Copies of this chain bind each other. A is one copy, B any other.
């Protein structure tokens, strides 16, 4: 992804490793002494623009801003009036930048946060764009791994569930690849295996990769087990979803074979993939992980607000024709967005949604 000047966080990969570590360091300090940071954002306003509702993420950001002494405005209704009246994302973003100091965007289309960052004079945080990226989830996951394991390398990490569509899985794996080598145990049905380009990225990073169909085959090896929900909303039909749902259940019986220092993570919400009794197992760390999400967002917001606002260059030529084939890419909804290409593994991709051109 094309590097954005570090005013916004669109993709975890926007951050240099040192910048990410600064955020983790700050998040840990805040977690130890939250009261010391309760005025950092006094007088500042965060705007949360949620074009797709997500209770968890929105409450996490709101809480983070308030714990820093700031306030929050925003909307979370896909049918909000300005959109219904036909206002462009570009105009919305420009105007909201006049009402706030930092803007958080969540949308069902891919590339929206990136598009917004082209027009906003305040920092943009990507709170999730379609099935593409969710960088603050990755920050949350990494902060938790660092806190509980003290390292990002030399680990045996199992990931289970929908590895084909799961953006938190993709984002976590790409982030870890950028840091060092691990052994990865990818547990899924054949239909929901990790995309080939990510598998390649893992291998090229020097990591070992095992693709498995069951949790039992590998759980005794693992240092970390990252469970994911089979997301109804990522499937085209309910039948396709039903075939995949409920196949992987982590229960106490399976955990009998696991190491005593295994940590179990899940980006939440969970449905049936983790049995309730596991919640009370000391190895279950997903509620701690959710709480860390608030602290890491506090640290991120603090850091982004330290940067001076950068002027925006708005002279973009309108594209003469569509350049991205992904129907869920923002460029096929906001037709004024300029064509931007990135080269990834020698392949030309749309800079907004990263689909192949």
Judge whether B269 and A99 touch: CB under 8 Å.
no
CB of A53 closer than 8 Å to a CB of B: yes
Question: Known interface pairs A87-B271, A98-B290, A269-B87. Does A73 touch B81 (Cβ–Cβ under 8 Å)?
Answer: no
Contact flags (1/0) for A82-118 with B, using CB distance below 8 Å?
A: 1101110011101110111000000000000000000
Closest Cβ of chain B to A297, distance in Å, is 11
Q: Does A229 contact B (CB under 8 A)?
A: yes
Interface segment among A58-66, A184-192, A254-262: the answer is: A58-66
Interface size on A, residues (CB 8 A): 60
Chain B residues near A210 (CB, 8 Å)? Answer: none
Interface check A77, CB cutoff 8 A:
yes
- Bound complex: CA A56 to CA B74 (Å): 10
A45 at the interface (CB under 8 A from B): yes
Which residues of chain B are near A82, meaning CB under 8 Å? 54-56, 269
Per the bound structure, the CA–CA distance linking A77 and B63 in Å amounts to: 18
* A314 within 8 A of partner (CB): yes
Given contact pairs A53-B79, A72-B73, A87-B268, enumerate 16 new A-B contacts (beta carbons under 8 Å).
A52-B81, A53-B81, A54-B81, A55-B75, A56-B81, A59-B73, A59-B74, A59-B96, A60-B99, A63-B73, A82-B269, A85-B229, A85-B231, A90-B279, A92-B269, A280-B315
7 A-B residue pairings within 8 Å (CB atoms): A45-B63, A45-B66, A47-B59, A54-B81, A62-B99, A85-B229, A95-B287
Name A residues whose Cβ lies closer than 8 Å to a Cβ of B. 35, 38, 43, 45, 47, 52-56, 59-60, 62-63, 66-67, 69, 71-75, 77, 79-83, 85-87, 90-92, 94-96, 98-100, 229, 231-233, 268-272, 276, 279-280, 287, 290-291, 294, 314-315, 318, 336
